[in-house]
Structure 1
Amino acid sequence: MFALLVGQLAYLQIVYGGKFAAEVDRTDKTVMTGSVPRGMIYDSKGRLLVGNSTESAITYTKSSGVKSSDIYTIVNRLTKYVSIEKETLSDRDKADYILSAPGKEAKVAKQMPKSWRRDSNGDALSNTTIYNNEIKYLKKMGMHLSDAELSKATLFKKMSAAYSLSTVFLKDKNLTSKEIAEVSEHLTELPGISVGTNWNREYPQGKSIASIIGGVSTEQQGIPDDELNTMLAYGYSRNDRVGTSYLEKSYETILSGTKSEREVQIGSGNQIKKSKLVYGGQKGGNLNLTIDSKFQKKVQSALSTQFSSAQAAGITQYSDGAYVVVENPKTGAILAMAGVRNDPQTGKTSEDALGVINRTFVMGSAVKGATVLGALMDGVITPTNSVQADNPIYLPGSAVKKSVYPVGTYSSMNAEKALEVSSNEYMMALAMKEANAKYVPKVSMTMNPDIFSKLRGYFNQFGLGVKTGIDISGETGGIEGSVRNSQGQLKTGSALDLSYGNYDSYTLIEMAQYISTIANGGYRMKPYLVQSIQKTKNDGTKGALESVTTPTVLNKVGFTQADLNVVRRGMYNAVHGSDYWTTATRLKDLSPSVAAKTGTAQSFYYNPNDPDNQDPPETITTSLVSFGPYDDPNVSMAIVFPNLTSESGNYPQLVAKQIYTDYYKMTGQD
């Protein structure tokens, strides 16, 4: 038997020795990916809005099969050379670090009660159960770590959380030259540790539109949970830094670039033996916006100044703030977006440009241009025959519905005059005709049940009540009021309110799209913020253009040129008319001249801390839509000051006047 054993060993050595030796020395090849600098964002004049600040960093690439004890050893060596700031750790985090020390787990297991190691039959419990019991034991006995040990445990947590062959940043802020030098000198005793760089977003022009640009996740946050599976399928890693909101999110695939690829050879001991860069990656593409940062600051300043005036007047007690959006009506390019968010509870304000696309308000008479054009398309009036009686409406059980001016001021008027003096009575008369209404004052009113869908159908053609499709995530749509009451009856009074803008609510970007459609001759343009996408050269400068945004027509509204001329003249007269009740005369001195439509809506303030209040205070929302120059519009705007405590249409007009003045000067049109 001994001779047979010796023979078998000799046979294996001679015949298979080379094979076994090769197996010992075997290496596997795999590909590791690395992040590249994120693309930058520029304004329309090439000024850098969002860039990257590069900082030195200590990184760790986790090998396959690395043990906790190995990480423990690296941690204790690395902290000799690098200061690590301690973080808040759970008991589990602390216990993991403690148990990773050589021999510590066996020692703790020996100290535990026998029932924590073996079952009633004397058989050993599973390794997982024993480990969880070891953690429980440590918690019971108390884990008292010094500050230095907490720093080490923090580092251990970061390194342990890394996925196999992935790279994590251990320290990328306040890294001293001494720390870099000492780590570099001792890399051979720190497997997986390297000295590299990391980036952080910076805003050279300030953060006036930071809410539009959005944010980027940290390495610790990684991919948002709701997008994890999708982004992993596209080649992302769980700890990749990605855009989490708005432009950064909408253009993630452009800004993130293409990862570098490194071929890595893994030895039989699961250690990295050799690596070779096979693809250096492509830095993220750059976004060139339609916004001029200097003009943006002027728009924000004009809005903030007038809101401060409203505060000084004591009428912002319940106000949400104020918002403005300026665009090119011919293309849909956004020229500026600004917002002031007010907290009624504290009176504190903050910049909130994003409110232009994600907040809705009942805008009031500013929508009357769409009402008139809808009636013209419906055929209830014509460009040459639009005269209507200007009478208030008396519905049973409700207050009189009328215009702001006294009853009897006008006996009748045409569409142009109705827009000039903002007649609610005229708009209600149009809605009643479209609904084939039967009306007996103070007794009854009946309407065709499709009146809401008819009015809204016309509004939708201009963009009111539908999402605009702007190229930024987070846009909300307008909110429609109910069509029937709790008894199932058609809300005829609300249909009348809808006709003059006092029922449904809209976002300000919808209002801008609507007035731009009137300004450009009937084309509903898709608004956009990114003018072009540009590659990044190896030296970090802008390279060749990859794409340029082409203006997109979403639909052509079905009115005639004669129809449009009625509304354009009415809006011109709202600025330049001489009637006492002309509504937008604060803009009449502008040159070139402009057209506009003001809006006032009754609203209510609902205190979030008192949601059951059955008697909320009444407030006033004032708005304005406008375009200019009148003869050949190249700029349009929408402005809203919601929930003021007294009526004043002046604030939106004053904002608009300043914006026009600045815009005309900057573009050489003054």
Structure 2
Amino acid sequence: MKRKSQLPFRLNILFFAIFVIFSFLVLQLGVVQILTGGEAQQVLDETENTITNIPVPRGKMYDRDGNLIVDNKSTYAITYTPPKNVQPKDKLDIAQKLSNYIQVDNSDITQRDMKDYWILTRREEAYARLSESEKKRMNDEEQYQSVLDRLTKYNLDHLSKEELQVVAIKRKLDEAMELTPHIVKNKGVTQEEYATVAEHSNEMQGINVTTDWDRKLPQGETFANFIGGITDHEDGILKDNVDYYLTRNYNRNERVGQSFLEQQYEEVLAGQKEQYRHITDKNNNVIRSELIQEGKQGKDLVLSVDMELQKKVDQIVQEELEKIIDKYPYKNQYLNNALVVMMKPKTGEILSMTGIRYHRPENEANYFADESYRTVYDAHLPGSAIKGATVLSGFQSGVITKNTVFNDRPIKIANTETKSSYGTLGPVNYLTALEKSSNVFMFFVAMRMGGDYTYVENQSVDFNPEAFTEMRNYFKQFGLGVETGIDLPYEATGLEGDKESAGLLMDYAIGQYEPFTTLQLAQYVSTIANDGYRIKPHLVNEIRYPGTKDQPGRIYKTIGPEVINKLEMDEEYIQAVQNGFYRVFNGSNGTAAGTFSNLPYVAAGKTGTAEQPIYENGKLIADTENLTLVGYAPYDDPEVSFAVVVPRVGLESGDTINYKIGKRILDAYFENQQNN
């Protein structure tokens, strides 16, 4: 008897096992479909993560004593956050509804804005301007452009006031980026507008009410020039630096610092933006939003400026300007401003920067304006104030020694006008040359640096053009003719002359050829006061974490003194010039001794007068002069240095205004020190 095969039985077992496995899988799929199908479908539908950045309030600014000078103030705001792929008709519908609740400025709407609105609201009438044959041979874009071209001024002039409001609002909505809040109105939003929009916001997708912020200045306009400004939402990030800001997670409509400290310290003041991730489905509907980074208010700045001193200096300059303008109104018709910089020579801390401009409108009362920025951006011929640099150049180049004596009398070089000091001073060495402000001594320094040691009256002199480069290089060591390094976005460096000759080098040596800024002059005299160390001036002392309402937080970063260079000159020469500056203010023949001697403090410095002719259409119309003064105090341990520039003063009508301003601002500084 044959044995039965076992194969069918084994196959049955295999089929049964497969059946059990498939049954289990079907059961599991059923559970997934019934219990978690919705969640699974949502995961499948999620197609994109979008990140948006929400700006935070900017950091505040305080003066060196902790007085608040820049704050934020909250304002009502109406915003629009467009969903993905929103259509023009949807924005039009929102704009029409929103126009019932708010009023916006429509002065910036363009003809193109009005044409787009006209076509959107009168589409059938607009496209009726095209013939059927034109429609057939044109694509959609060409048709639209042709309709735009055929709209007339008549069509646009018949838009109603209400429609222009809609156009203005829609323009704001069109500027918004997907899923990013955009300001529709934040200036002059009334409580009624705020409440009404909030009540009807569910009727307008993406419209919301919130609070925005703006800058306020608790100290008024004092020092406002250097605080700078920020852009409006309408302007957004600076157009010249769009790529720079976009790569740093800025929105196009986000406000940024556009000048001075607000711009220089933008990344510090802007803070850490609040970030949200938006999850969208395949239809671009937002499924959910989640916070991925909390916002942090910008860090605060503690400035080096003393606001109490700044206010006093502003007042002093205005009063002294007013005095001589009232006393000599006709002679001073071209005098319209005075400039002052005060700083600490050892640290570079700017204490005050003042620029008061006098304005004479026709048939109106005279008034004074703060134009302090001119201390950094306007360059003027300094006159004899820079003779300290000239003497040091002569010492270091080896053309003079401390024993060198020149006979101060009129100098006449062939084919040039006679050059002289304000009088014939006789024999002068470097000390008496500084004390009495001898031009002739400086002329001989220039001639010797130019290569001529044998001056003969009415004959030509040797001149090596490299002497200009040499003297300029010495001057640059003081900060004259180069950037001072101040923490501002831009600064002027003066103007380098394009001609070179022996006579012009002599003019350069007495501050009558190339102009410098008031800040450069302050750095120059600070370098002399600081034993030859040129320190970078700065307006910010500390960066701090956000603090309480009126006080900055803990220190994040301290900005200390930074040495730019040390004068490449022997210390004995620097001390010699310091001694000369002492005699200018305190010597028996010092040009400023009548103002500065016998004071509670001992000051040193140098006076200056530069010829400043006024031309109009190439024709000389007036002769004026720049009155300057640089100095520091106390002489033996300098705490403060300063530069004063009063440009275009009428001849013999200045009443030594530069001396008077210099003395009064030093008095104000030491009074402040006593009070503190």
Query: Which whole-Å deviations, capped at 9, do the CAs of 1:394-429 have from their partners, x for residues lacking one?
Result: 012332111002x3x42x122111111100011112
Aligned residue for 2:662?
A: 656
Q: What residue identity is the alignment partner of 1:573?
A: R
From the superposition, tell whether residues 61 and 440 of structure 1 become closer, same or farther in structure 2 (CA, over 3 Å): same
- Which residue of 555, 573, 579 corresponds with 1:545? 555
Distance 1:451 1:62 in 2: 67
- Secondary structure in structure 1 of the residue aligned to 2:148: helix
Q: Do 1:584 and 1:597's aligned partners in 2 also have CA atoms closer than 8 Å?
A: no
Q: Do 1:39 and 1:536's aligned partners in 2 also have CA atoms closer than 8 Å?
A: yes
1:444 aligns with 2:450: no
- Which residue of 574, 584, 598 corresponds with 2:584? 574
Q: Do 1:623 and 1:649's aligned partners in 2 also have CA atoms closer than 8 Å?
A: no
From the superposition, tell whether residues 540 and 87 of structure 1 become closer, same or farther in structure 2 (CA, over 3 Å): farther
- Which residue of 139, 142, 152 corresponds with 1:126? 139
1:426 aligns with 2:441: yes
- Which residue of 64, 84, 89 corresponds with 1:44? 64
Q: Do 2:450 and 2:502's aligned partners in 1 also have CA atoms closer than 8 Å?
A: no
From the superposition, tell whether residues 154 and 541 of structure 1 become closer, same or farther in structure 2 (CA, over 3 Å): farther
Aligned residue for 1:585?
A: 594
From the superposition, tell whether residues 165 and 571 of structure 1 become closer, same or farther in structure 2 (CA, over 3 Å): same
Distance 2:170 2:241 in 1: 28
Q: What residue identity is the alignment partner of 1:30?
A: T
- Secondary structure in structure 2 of the residue aligned to 1:322: strand
- Using the TM superposition, give the Cα deviation of residue 21 of structure 1 relative to its aligned residue in structure 2, in angstroms: 6.8
Distance 2:629 2:194 in 1: 58
From the superposition, tell whether residues 539 and 461 of structure 1 become closer, same or farther in structure 2 (CA, over 3 Å): closer
Distance 1:396 1:348 in 2: 49
Distance 1:448 1:140 in 2: 69
Q: What residue identity is the alignment partner of 1:129?
A: E
Distance 1:145 1:241 in 2: 32
Aligned residue for 2:351?
A: 335
Distance 1:25 1:447 in 2: 84
- Using the TM superposition, give the Cα deviation of residue 272 of structure 1 relative to its aligned residue in structure 2, in angstroms: 3.0
Aligned residue for 2:643?
A: 638
Distance 2:513 2:119 in 1: 65
Distance 1:134 1:268 in 2: 35
Distance 1:289 1:70 in 2: 49
Gaps of 5+ in 1: 1-13, 485-490
Identity of aligned residues (%): 34
Equivalences for residues 488-507 of structure 1 within 5 A = 491-507=501-517
Q: Do 1:439 and 1:446's aligned partners in 2 also have CA atoms closer than 8 Å?
A: no
- Using the TM superposition, give the Cα deviation of residue 343 of structure 1 relative to its aligned residue in structure 2, in angstroms: 5.6
Query: Which whole-Å deviations, capped at 9, do the CAs of 1:625-668 have from their partners, x for residues lacking one?
Result: 01001111100000011111214461011001111111111102
From the superposition, tell whether residues 418 and 29 of structure 1 become closer, same or farther in structure 2 (CA, over 3 Å): same
From the superposition, tell whether residues 449 and 175 of structure 1 become closer, same or farther in structure 2 (CA, over 3 Å): closer
Aligned residue for 2:128?
A: 111
Query: Which whole-Å deviations, capped at 9, do the CAs of 1:106-145 have from their partners, x for residues lacking one?
Result: x135522316xx44xx725222222223333443661322
Equivalences for residues 268-417 of structure 1 within 5 A = 268-312=282-326, 313-314=328-329, 315-342=331-358, 349-383=368-402, 385-405=403-423, 407=424, 409-410=425-426, 412-417=427-432
- Using the TM superposition, give the Cα deviation of residue 478 of structure 1 relative to its aligned residue in structure 2, in angstroms: 1.8
Q: Do 1:329 and 1:635's aligned partners in 2 also have CA atoms closer than 8 Å?
A: yes
- Which residue of 454, 469, 474 corresponds with 1:453? 469
- Using the TM superposition, give the Cα deviation of residue 190 of structure 1 relative to its aligned residue in structure 2, in angstroms: 1.5
Query: Which whole-Å deviations, capped at 9, do the CAs of 1:285-309 have from their partners, x for residues lacking one?
Result: 1111100111101011111111112
Q: Which has the larger radius of gyration?
A: 2
Query: Which whole-Å deviations, capped at 9, do the CAs of 1:94-115 have from their partners, x for residues lacking one?
Result: 22223334xx42x135522316
- Using the TM superposition, give the Cα deviation of residue 378 of structure 1 relative to its aligned residue in structure 2, in angstroms: 1.9
Gaps of 5+ in 2: 1-29
Distance 1:641 1:341 in 2: 11
Report which stretch shifted further, 454-463 or 126-135: 126-135
Q: What residue identity is the alignment partner of 1:442?
A: N
Aligned residue for 1:11?
A: none
What do you get for the CA RMSD once the two structures are aligned? 2.5
Aligned residue for 1:83?
A: 103
Distance 1:92 1:566 in 2: 71
Q: Do 1:86 and 1:151's aligned partners in 2 also have CA atoms closer than 8 Å?
A: yes
Distance 2:52 2:415 in 1: 74
- Which residue of 61, 66, 70 corresponds with 2:90? 70
- Using the TM superposition, give the Cα deviation of residue 237 of structure 1 relative to its aligned residue in structure 2, in angstroms: 1.7
- Secondary structure in structure 2 of the residue aligned to 1:536: coil
- Secondary structure in structure 1 of the residue aligned to 2:491: coil
Report which stretch shifted further, 552-561 or 139-148: 139-148
Query: Which whole-Å deviations, capped at 9, do the CAs of 1:163-221 have from their partners, x for residues lacking one?
Result: 22222111213323333333223332221111111111111101121111111110111
Q: Do 2:535 and 2:565's aligned partners in 1 also have CA atoms closer than 8 Å?
A: yes
From the superposition, tell whether residues 141 and 128 of structure 1 become closer, same or farther in structure 2 (CA, over 3 Å): farther
Equivalences for residues 100-249 of structure 1 within 5 A = 100-101=120-121, 104-105=122-123, 107-114=124-131, 118-119=133-134, 123-139=136-152, 142-143=155-156, 144-249=158-263
- Using the TM superposition, give the Cα deviation of residue 25 of structure 1 relative to its aligned residue in structure 2, in angstroms: 4.8
From the superposition, tell whether residues 325 and 24 of structure 1 become closer, same or farther in structure 2 (CA, over 3 Å): same
Q: What residue identity is the alignment partner of 2:468?
A: F
Query: Which whole-Å deviations, capped at 9, do the CAs of 1:245-283 have from their partners, x for residues lacking one?
Result: 111111111111121101212244433342222222121
From the superposition, tell whether residues 453 and 264 of structure 1 become closer, same or farther in structure 2 (CA, over 3 Å): same
Distance 1:531 1:198 in 2: 29
Distance 1:560 1:113 in 2: 86
From the superposition, tell whether residues 326 and 504 of structure 1 become closer, same or farther in structure 2 (CA, over 3 Å): same
From the superposition, tell whether residues 84 and 282 of structure 1 become closer, same or farther in structure 2 (CA, over 3 Å): same
Aligned residue for 1:614?
A: 619
- Using the TM superposition, give the Cα deviation of residue 553 of structure 1 relative to its aligned residue in structure 2, in angstroms: 0.5
- Using the TM superposition, give the Cα deviation of residue 318 of structure 1 relative to its aligned residue in structure 2, in angstroms: 1.8
